[in-house]
Amino acid sequence: MTSTPHPNRDLSYAELNRTRRSWLGYTGEVVPDELLREIVAEATLAPSGSNLQPWRFVVAGPDQLDRFADGLGSNFDKVREAGTLLVVFGDPNAVESSDRAHDFYDSGKTSRRDFAVRNASLAAMNLMLAAWSHGVATRPMIGFEPFLVREAAKMPRSCIPVVAMAVGYPELDREQPERDRAPVDDVLTFLS
Ligand SMILES: Cc1cc2nc3c(=O)[nH]c(=O)nc-3n(C[C@H](O)[C@H](O)[C@H](O)COP(=O)(O)O)c2cc1C
């Protein structure tokens, strides 16, 4: 598929990062699968421990959304408005594909579950910036019932739903809530 690149593709990283929001308000136009595939491919350029890439992505379009209603609870309306739900999963069993990683992650230094969640979280952030670079807005959410979401996504019991996202084309004239951040010196320590 060839399409005209979105103007956000020309933004610097700084601008892309500054203008990304957990978007509220969507046009209702559904993001095509081919573009979602491209966004996920870009997300998977995220780093991961031993390069094991313990992330999985499940996309539910408008026709599949209803099965997530119970699992998403009050967040469901945001997904319905966006048109697409994308769930990023972590796969703790990915460590089994490497003897070295298997020994490390099962030796008590860190759990398989932590391993999966940490790595999948990095991919999730990459995904949100990748989406925005294509003019696609996201709203990440962890306010959901993990068992129900995993079941609706038809994922194995071992996989952990790390973050669910509403994904869609943003209503650009819709004012977004203030996004305050703590001053950097409140969260940064240089050791001396
Ligand atoms: C891990 C995580 C969980 C979140 N959970 C929810 C949620 O359940 N529902 C929701 O509406 N927004 C949720 N958000 C969106 C945050 O409220 C939002 O990221 C934050 O207010 C900062 O705004 P910004 O992303 O526009 O910079 C979540 C964001 C993150 C990163």
Strands (E), 24-115: 55-60, 84-90
Structural domain includes residue 131: yes
| Cβ partners under 8 Å of residue 40, min gap 6 | 57, 86, 127
Question: Ligand 1: residues whose CB is within 6 Å?
Answer: 21-22, 75, 78, 139-143, 163, 179
* Residue 137 pLDDT exceeds 90: yes
**94 CA distance to ligand 1 centroid (A)?**
27
Structural domain includes residue 72: yes
Structural domain includes residue 47: yes
Q: At what angle do helices 33-43 and 112-133 cross, to 10 degrees?
A: 130
pTM of the predicted model, to two decimals?
A: 0.96
Structural domain includes residue 168: yes
Q: Which atom of ligand 1 is nearest to the CA of 121?
A: 1
Q: Taking the chain, what is the end-to-end CA distance rounded to the nearest angstrom?
A: 54
Instruction: Please check whether residue 96 is in contact with residue 166, taking contact to mean a CB–CB distance below 8 angstroms.
Output: no
Look over the chain and give the mean of its residue pLDDT values, rounded to a whole number: 94
Q: Would you state the pLDDT for residue 138?
A: 98
Sign of CA dihedral 155, 161, 164, 167: negative
Determine the residue of 77, 129, 142 to mutate for testing ligand 1's pocket, defined as the one with the most ligand atoms within 8 A of the Cβ atom: 142
Structural domain includes residue 181: no
Segment 93-120, tens digit of pLDDT = 998 887 777 777 767 667 899 999 999 9
Determine the residue of 17, 19, 22 to mutate for testing ligand 1's pocket, defined as the one with the most ligand atoms within 8 A of the Cβ atom: 22
Structural domain includes residue 150: yes
* Residue 183 pLDDT exceeds 60: yes
Q: Please tell me the total count of domains within the chain.
A: 1
Top pLDDT among 151 and 106 is at 151
Residue nearest to atom 10 of ligand 1 (CA): 141
Query: Which CATH number goes with the domain that contains 35?
Result: 3.40.109.10
**20 CA distance to ligand 1 centroid (A)?**
12
**4 CA distance to ligand 1 centroid (A)?**
30
Which one, of 171, 144, 25, lies nearest residue 153 by Cα? 144
Structural domain includes residue 106: yes
Q: Which atom of ligand 1 is nearest to the CA of 23?
A: 26
Using alpha carbons, list the distances in angstroms from residue 31 to 28, 68, 131.
9, 18, 10
Q: What percent of the chain shows pLDDT beyond 90?
A: 88
**17 CA distance to ligand 1 centroid (A)?**
15
Q: Which domain holds residue 37?
A: 8-173
Residue nearest to atom 31 of ligand 1 (CA): 140
Angstrom distance (rounded) from CA 147 to CA 153: 10
- Sheet with 137-141: list strands edge to edge: 55-60, 84-90, 160-168, 137-141
Residue nearest to atom 12 of ligand 1 (CA): 141
Angstrom distance (rounded) from CA 191 to CA 188: 10
Structural domain includes residue 185: no
